[in-house]
Amino acid sequence: MDSSQDYPLELTGTNVPMVRFMNVSKNYGGLKVLDNLNLDVAEAEKVSIIGPSGSGKTTVLRMLMTLESINSGVIYVDGKPLTHMPRGGKLVPADASYLRRMRASIGMCFQSFNLFPHMTALQNCVEGPIQVLGLSKAEARDRAEELLSMVGMIEKKDQHPARLSGGQQQRVAIARALAMRPKVMLFDEVTSALDPEVIGEVTNVIRKLVSEFRLTMLMVTHQMGFAADISDRVCFFFSGKIEEQGEPKQLFGDPKRERTQQFLSAVKDAV
Amino acid sequence: MELDWSWRFAWEILPDLLAGALKTLAAVGIGYSMAIVGGLILALLQRTRSRLLSAAVREFVEFIRSTPLLLQIYFVFFVGPQFGVQLSPWASGLIAIGLYRSAYLSEIYRGGLEAVPAGQWEACTALNLSGRDAYFRIIIPQALPPATAGMGNALIAIFKDTPMLSAIGVAELMHAATVVGANSYRYLEPYTLVGLIFLLLSLPAAWVIRIFERWLRSKLGMV
């Protein structure tokens, strides 16, 4: 860990970002996955992360969900440090209970859905609210049913995941994540494991919910069209760094950097 | 050579043997319950973050698995008192069998736990579940169905472990047969009946385990 005391204990002032990566680096052994990343995401801002595989884009989300530790730097969520906690006037690496408290404002959906196979769609959606948020069964069920209706899965609420298609599972997973009332939602290649004909049903749900709940969103995706139309900003990652970022219209229509141009034209050729 | 089988004698000794069989059943029930819980504890302890603890438990499991059960029974019963632990034959025997099969079952649980995909753990983290809820509500229920075959084998194995209790004088089925034999100098009938009774007891056990597995899978929606 580098000298964490150089980092503020809390972000103050106007325009405190919902998420801030400050000089964040991550290595696996000798391999540098993220190299001194600095990234701010404002409240209710929608940011898409694109780039070739191995460029570190999924790692960004996994660090924010605390599924991966970081090697240096600090991540802040809603002005408070996430990876570290204040102790005796400086920041020290966060312990399990601090992480647990901070994690409450973050939700995540995965490429492989990761629904609990031994629970029905509804049970998946009430598990966290009852066990973690302490909601009553009735409250949790009402809320879950409302969310399952919004994602169009209310008719299937008593089905186990094994009986649902990929697109249906992913929609349940989105409802499950939202049932925890996160401020920040992370979508990690949520359409990559889906058949082409069901991608639309999932992207439509995300589009609808993200604007409805005014969520801050970070999304890793290979769907350039979806990224272009849902995001306020697109970040192009290349070997652990943000190579270029901008509004979708600019980044997709008029990329400045050569690597961005190469990547986008390679993606276009593949379609 | 003529087979000297007496139906009358077999009938006469049957009540004694059945009384022994009841004790065998009790030993199996208690020993298996201990192993089911003990095995889970040993499996979970091996997964704790403390390297020292998990290595110590790992060694303990290896030690139990690679020494004979009879030795362990003798150890608890005969050596225990030297350390001030004086236990009845029943208690010593059951502790030894329970521990022995806990060690085996912990390996079966470990396999089941490791077979649960990492994504399930990540979903638990993303939903902010406590470690306890993650284990007991999400991970262990999924680890059980793949472990049921091994759990069934352990049940049959415990049946076959119980005759060793006769070595320290627990009056289970084997012991009852040996007593009958020693008193009458006839061994054919008692030991044949012991074999039959063991068979009759373990066949339904295997069947019950299969029913349990099917019930578990359907309950967990994993048909």
Query: Which of B139, B141, B218 minimizes the C-alpha distance to A160?
Result: B218
Percentage of chain B surpassing pLDDT 90? 47
Distance (Å, rounded) from C-alpha A197 to C-alpha A220?
A: 20
- Are the beta carbons of B120 and A116 separated by less than 8 Å? yes
Question: In the predicted model, what is the mean pLDDT of residues B70-85?
Answer: 90
pLDDT of B18 strictly over 80:
yes
pLDDT of B29 strictly over 70:
yes
Is B1 part of any domain?
no
Q: Which domain holds residue A200?
A: 4-105+182-270
Distance (Å, rounded) from C-alpha B86 to C-alpha B171?
A: 19
User: What spatial distance separates the first Cα and last Cα of chain B, rounded to whole Å?
Assistant: 55
3-state secondary structure of B132: helix
Q: Among the residues of A183-238, which ranges form H helices? A: 196-212, 224-230
What is the total count of domains within chain A?
Answer: 2
Distance (Å, rounded) from C-alpha A229 to C-alpha A18?
A: 22
The pLDDT tens digits of the residues spanning B80-130 come to: 888 988 888 889 999 999 999 999 999 999 999 999 999 999 999 999 999
The H-or-E segment that residue B216 falls in is helix B188-219
pLDDT at A1: 47
Is B57 part of any domain?
yes
Distance (Å, rounded) from C-alpha B134 to C-alpha B45?
A: 15
Q: Which of A160, A181, A202 is the last residue before a domain boundary? A: A181
Residues A224 and A146 in one domain: no
Question: Which of A114, A120, A132 lies nearest to residue B123, judging by beta carbons?
Answer: A114
Q: Which one of B116, B120, B128 would you mutate to disrupt binding with A, by most A Cβ within 10 Å of its Cβ?
A: B128
Amino acid at B81: P
The pLDDT tens digits of the residues spanning A48-61 come to: 999 998 888 999 99
C-alpha B170: how far from chain center: 17
Is B132 part of any domain?
yes
Looking up residue A96, the CATH number of its domain turns out to be 3.40.50.300
pLDDT at B1: 62
Is B81 part of any domain?
yes
Question: In the predicted model, what is the mean pLDDT of residues A211-215?
Answer: 88
Is A110 part of any domain?
no
Question: In the predicted model, what is the mean pLDDT of residues A157-169?
Answer: 94
Q: What is the mean pLDDT of chain A?
A: 92
Residues in chain B whose Cβ is within 8 Å of chain A:
117, 119-120, 122-123, 125-130, 133, 137-138, 141-142, 219-223
CB A74 within 8 A of CB A41: no
What is the total count of domains within chain B?
Answer: 1
The pLDDT tens digits of the residues spanning B151-164 come to: 988 998 998 899 99
CB A129 within 8 A of CB A135: yes
Residues A253 and A219 in one domain: yes
Q: Which domain holds residue B67?
A: 7-219
Residues A15 and A66 in one domain: yes
pLDDT of A143 strictly over 60:
yes
**Ramachandran sector of residue A189 (left: φ over 0; alpha: ψ -120 to 50; beta: rest):** left
- Are the beta carbons of A180 and B127 separated by less than 8 Å? yes
C-alpha A172: how far from chain center: 16
CB B118: neighbour CB atoms within 10 A?
Answer: 11
Question: In the predicted model, what is the mean pLDDT of residues A166-177?
Answer: 96
Is B66 part of any domain?
yes
Distance (Å, rounded) from C-alpha B24 to C-alpha B90?
A: 11
Residues 134-173 of chain A with CB under 8 A from chain B are: 160-163
Looking up residue B132, the CATH number of its domain turns out to be 1.10.3720.10
Q: What is the mean pLDDT of chain B?
A: 89
- Give B223→chain A minimum CA distance, Å: 9
Buried/exposed code over A48-75 (b: 16+ C-beta within 10 A; e: otherwise):
bbbbeeebbbbbbbbbbbbbbebebbbb
Question: Which of B119, B137, B222 lies nearest to residue A114, judging by beta carbons?
Answer: B119
> In the block, which residue shows the tokens 């990540």?
B122
Is B172 part of any domain?
yes
- Residue A271: pLDDT band with limits 50, 70, 90: low
Does the ipTM surpass 0.85?
yes
Is A153 part of any domain?
yes
Contacts of A235 (CB under 8 A, 6+ apart): A39, A47, A48, A49, A50, A51, A242, A244, A245
CB B153: neighbour CB atoms within 10 A?
Answer: 15
Residues A67 and A187 in one domain: yes
